[in-house]
Chains A and B, each alone.
Chain A
Amino acid sequence: MTTTGSPVSAPPTHQGGAAPRHRNAPPSREARRRERRSRWYQRDVKWSPYAFVAPFFVFFGAFSLFPLLYTGWASLHKVSLTAPTDMEWVGLRNFTRLFEDDFFWNSLGNTFTLGVISTVPQLMMALGLAHLLNYKLRGATFFRVAMLAPYATSVAAATLVFVMIFGRDYGMINWALGTVGIDPVDWHNDKWTAQFAISTIVIWRWTGYNTLIYLAAMQAVPKDLYESAALDGASRWQQFVHVTIPSLRPTILFTIVVSTIGATQLFGEPLLFNPGGGPNGGPDRQYQTLGLYLYEQGWTNLHLGRASAIAWVMFLLLVLIALVNWAISYWMKKSELGRKAARRRS
């Protein structure tokens, strides 16, 4: 699905290297210069990719590798936040105990349902909004910045506003329901209402974020693709489906990967939804996610070892999802090829 780059292996100055050489007629200064340039050029082509990716890996190695290794090491130990360097070896116990940990499975389930009901609508809406923003608009910059306003709003303000909206006794939604004669809903205490409410917060917060990502990609779609599609009589909708979407495929893939990771680590929104402010996700843990459970174990219960194990399980879970994804696309490609071959044969 991707066009992979093909660096040019034959630079124009290459012929310099093939300049005739005679032992007693030293190469002209020009030729030597060209040769030097050529060698330099080849080295440039060979090594510059490494130079380009190096800063990321250098900074990552300097500041993220140690925390990663520490977390991995801590997951095999009993260790408390009161003394983070004082570890007691427990082997895989922090992992095996998760099998019997009801709270873990509960949060895993919540993470999954919340992930689905918040990620799918969010990405669809973002795609639509990006398409609208990609029109010629008056005040385009204003709309773009406004899209990002939810992401920029401080958590303290968002918390207060959503408490006002979803409050049981004095919330705005229940007030509105009351005016049409519907009984108030206790948004926080029922599992599904709570998850619905949280997913609206997630959608509110992140749709604009993804919208801008799509918008950037749309800016790069070649105009003549639209022109030729229009010449073929394609409607705006058909252009969107047949020109915009295919051109956005790498970016859509990107948002799906990032949103999946984000959904697995979902943390801030359920935390701010809890009126008490705690990480337990309600009295019945009805909206505790893996991210919150990890936070509760690490920062409230101070069990760094257990929290680290949860973190690594979340990581492995994502790797698993990636592998399954890869396998599915592999098989689909293969069967498609098989079908094509079969068609050709017949």
Chain B
Amino acid sequence: MRKTRTTRRAVALAAVAVIGSGLLAGCASDDGTDSESGGDSDGKTVITVGLFGTFGFQEAGLYEEYEKLNPKVEIKQTVIERNENYYPQLLTRLSSNSGLADIQAIEVANIAEVVRTQADKFVDLGKADGVTKEDFLSWKWDQATTQDGKTIGLGTDIGPMAICYRKDYFEAAGLPTDREEVGKLWAGDWQKYIDAGKRFQEKGPDGVAWVDSAGGVYNAAISSSATRYYNEQGDVIYKTNPDVQKAWDVAAEAATEGMTAKLQQFTKPWENAINNGDFATVSCPAWMLGNLQSKGGEKAKDKWDIAQAPKAGNWGGSFLGVPEASKNKEEAIKFAAWLTAPTQQAKLFAERGSFPSAQASYDTPEVAEAKHEFFDDAPIGPIFSQAAKGIPTQVIGPKDQLIQENIVGTGLLQIEQKGVSPDDGWKAAVKAVDNALDE
């Protein structure tokens, strides 16, 4: 009896103690806000970097290098793996001017919205020391620049697009296997890519689809056209834009003709399918290579190769911005400029495969001579540089991502997985997009 009572009292005391310590810990961290006030005990300036996904700055050793160059600076990063978690957090924090890192990354899909709605919350990096506009691809620069010329983000990587293909399957289907010839097979027109798929279907190995997903085909095709969902004036034109229609038709045909493996990209079944070699081609922005390698493993080594896409396009990429609320603006600007400078971008490409948005780096040996061992030593530097130079200047708009996600995730997926007709699929997509856009 006494024992239970003591236990009970102990539990209660512990409870009170924990509440107390919780409050204390909260208060204690009031004093420990070094990351926010921008200095720590050594008198170093701490620059915080807020990222999503797999930038790889730290892994490529760039923080360490900068800290060596600037002994008074210390870099700390916060990474949220998925942009769909990162972006709402960024917006919430921007609107309250609270808890922001000194440097914040912005995905290309969100950049137009940030430029349009949050420009006053970011520092103008366009005229900052150490930033040379001409170093960057002009369209990349313009994407992060407001109408009145304020540049709120510096380009990091881009996603110039190629097509990755399985040489072994191509050979079995009687298609060419050399990357130049494969490129010629469909050069200039996505329709030719579908036609090649038809040939593949006739003679290719059983159980192997031409391409992973209709959504992948659509994303690639729309990425290579100059206009998408908005016109220059900022009106939504996706319903009537012939470029959208063309990309849709190509993707819908791939779906209705049964050329796809009916997968959703970046899901577990898609990874399984890569590992099992269930499809012969996939649209390959530079950052896709890592997926094919890590999911495919040893058994896929040297089976994949890389050819030019029918039309050059860009899929993905990011920017770095410095919020006005940053407590170390000067240092943060300097660091952002350094991180996105051609030399560092070239290093990042060599280490991590993120393709530079700084065109000045394309002639550096790190880029020009880059080969990828897993892809049978394909010269990825020249391949993606060539693609990058051909990327059209795209008209982008604030809700691009939303529109695209609904077209792919509702329209194309219904055709592909539920056997809906392309017309009905388009209607379903339009309905979903309109609902998503209507505030």
A contacting B, Cβ–Cβ less than 8 Å: yes
Q: Which residues of B contact A227 (CB under 8 A)?
A: none
How long is the Cα–Cα vector from A302 to B117 in the complex, in angstroms? 13
Q: Is the CB of A167 within 8 A of B269?
A: yes
Q: Is the CB of B95 within 8 A of A85?
A: yes
Q: Is the CB of B117 within 8 A of A83?
A: yes
Q: Which residues of B contact A275 (CB under 8 A)?
A: 264, 267-269
How long is the Cα–Cα vector from A3 to B437 in the complex, in angstroms? 54
Q: Is the CB of B402 within 8 A of A300?
A: yes
Binary contact readout B415-439 vs A (1 if CB under 8 angstroms, 0 otherwise): 0011000000000100110011111
**Counting CB contacts under 8 A, is A160 at the interface?**
yes
How long is the Cα–Cα vector from A103 to B436 in the complex, in angstroms? 11
The stretch of B232-240, B282-290, B331-339, B406-414 that contacts the partner chain: B406-414
Q: Which residues of B contact A186 (CB under 8 A)?
A: 417
**Counting CB contacts under 8 A, is A211 at the interface?**
no
Q: Is the CB of A283 within 8 A of B413?
A: yes
The stretch of A74-82, A120-128, A133-141 that contacts the partner chain: A74-82
Q: Is the CB of B272 within 8 A of A167?
A: yes
**Counting CB contacts under 8 A, is A189 at the interface?**
yes
How long is the Cα–Cα vector from A200 to B154 in the complex, in angstroms? 47
Q: Which residues of B contact A164 (CB under 8 A)?
A: 268
Question: In angstroms, how far is the closest chain B Cβ from the Cβ of A97?
Answer: 8
Q: Is the CB of B435 within 8 A of A160?
A: no
Q: Which residue, A81, A85, A169, A186, has most C-beta atoms of chain B within 10 A?
A: A169
**Counting CB contacts under 8 A, is A301 at the interface?**
yes
**Counting CB contacts under 8 A, is A163 at the interface?**
yes
How long is the Cα–Cα vector from A275 to B410 in the complex, in angstroms? 14
How long is the Cα–Cα vector from A78 to B405 in the complex, in angstroms? 23
Q: Which residues of A contact B113 (CB under 8 A)?
A: 82
Q: Is the CB of A169 within 8 A of B273?
A: yes
Q: Which residues of B contact A81 (CB under 8 A)?
A: 88, 91-92, 95
Contact of A276 among B267, B431, B439 (CB under 8 A): B267
How long is the Cα–Cα vector from A170 to B267 in the complex, in angstroms? 13
User: Which residue of A has the minimal Cβ distance to B417?
Assistant: A189
Contact of A78 among B272, B414, B439 (CB under 8 A): B439
**Counting CB contacts under 8 A, is A277 at the interface?**
yes
Q: Which residues of A contact B266 (CB under 8 A)?
A: 276
When A189-B417, A284-B414, A284-B418 are in contact, do A278 and B402 touch as well, CB less than 8 Å? no
Q: Is the CB of B409 within 8 A of A278?
A: yes
When A103-B435, A283-B409, A300-B84 are in contact, do A163 and B117 touch as well, CB less than 8 Å? no
Binary contact readout A294-320 vs B (1 if CB under 8 angstroms, 0 otherwise): 001001111101100000000000000
**Counting CB contacts under 8 A, is B343 at the interface?**
no
Question: In angstroms, how far is the closest chain A Cβ from the Cβ of B167?
Answer: 24
When A80-B439, A81-B91, A169-B273 are in contact, do A280 and B410 touch as well, CB less than 8 Å? yes
When A83-B117, A186-B417, A275-B264 are in contact, do A168 and B435 touch as well, CB less than 8 Å? no
**Counting CB contacts under 8 A, is B231 at the interface?**
no
Total chain B interface residues with beta-carbon distance under 8 A:
36
Q: Is the CB of A163 within 8 A of B439?
A: no
**Counting CB contacts under 8 A, is B118 at the interface?**
yes
Q: Is the CB of A169 within 8 A of B272?
A: yes
Contact of B269 among A170, A280, A296 (CB under 8 A): A170
Q: Is the CB of B418 within 8 A of A83?
A: no
Question: In angstroms, how far is the closest chain A Cβ from the Cβ of B57?
Answer: 24
**Counting CB contacts under 8 A, is A101 at the interface?**
yes
Q: Is the CB of B268 within 8 A of A160?
A: yes
User: Which residue of B has the minimal Cβ distance to A186?
Assistant: B417
Chain B, 82-139, CB within 8 A of any chain A CB = 82, 84, 88, 91-92, 95, 113, 117-118
**Counting CB contacts under 8 A, is A84 at the interface?**
yes
How long is the Cα–Cα vector from A208 to B264 in the complex, in angstroms? 33
How long is the Cα–Cα vector from A278 to B268 in the complex, in angstroms? 14
Question: In angstroms, how far is the closest chain B Cβ from the Cβ of A176?
Answer: 17
Question: In angstroms, how far is the closest chain A Cβ from the Cβ of B417?
Answer: 5
Question: In angstroms, how far is the closest chain B Cβ from the Cβ of A329?
Answer: 37
Q: Is the CB of A163 within 8 A of B267?
A: yes
How long is the Cα–Cα vector from A237 to B113 in the complex, in angstroms? 64
Question: In angstroms, how far is the closest chain A Cβ from the Cβ of B5?
Answer: 18
Q: Which residues of B contact A82 (CB under 8 A)?
A: 91, 95, 113, 117-118
How long is the Cα–Cα vector from A186 to B273 in the complex, in angstroms? 16
How long is the Cα–Cα vector from A212 to B153 in the complex, in angstroms? 52
Chain A, 43-95, CB within 8 A of any chain B CB = 78, 80-85
Q: Which residues of A contact B409 (CB under 8 A)?
A: 276, 278, 280, 283
How long is the Cα–Cα vector from A277 to B266 in the complex, in angstroms? 10
When A280-B409, A283-B409 are in contact, do A170 and B91 touch as well, CB less than 8 Å? no
Chain B, 237-274, CB within 8 A of any chain A CB = 262, 264, 266-269, 272-273
How long is the Cα–Cα vector from A186 to B419 in the complex, in angstroms? 13
Q: Which residues of B contact A78 (CB under 8 A)?
A: 439
Q: Which residues of B contact A301 (CB under 8 A)?
A: 402, 436-437
When A275-B264, A305-B439 are in contact, do A170 and B272 touch as well, CB less than 8 Å? yes
How long is the Cα–Cα vector from A153 to B98 in the complex, in angstroms? 32
Q: Which residues of B contact A296 (CB under 8 A)?
A: 436
Question: In angstroms, how far is the closest chain B Cβ from the Cβ of A306?
Answer: 7
When A276-B409, A303-B439 are in contact, do A163 and B269 touch as well, CB less than 8 Å? yes
Q: Which residues of B contact A189 (CB under 8 A)?
A: 417-418
When A81-B91, A83-B117 are in contact, do A283 and B84 touch as well, CB less than 8 Å? no
Q: Which residues of A contact B406 (CB under 8 A)?
A: 280
Residues on B facing A (Cβ under 8 Å): 82, 84, 88, 91-92, 95, 113, 117-118, 262, 264, 266-269, 272-273, 276, 278, 402, 405-406, 409-410, 413-414, 417-418, 428, 431-432, 435-439
8 contacts between A and B (CB under 8 A): A81-B91, A81-B92, A170-B276, A283-B410, A284-B414, A300-B405, A301-B402, A303-B438
Given A163-B267, A305-B439; 15 other pairs, CB 8 A cutoff: A83-B95, A103-B432, A189-B417, A275-B264, A277-B84, A278-B405, A283-B409, A283-B417, A284-B410, A284-B428, A299-B84, A300-B402, A301-B437, A302-B88, A302-B91
The 7 closest A-B pairs by CB, nearest first: A283-B413, A275-B267, A82-B117, A163-B268, A283-B414, A276-B264, A301-B436
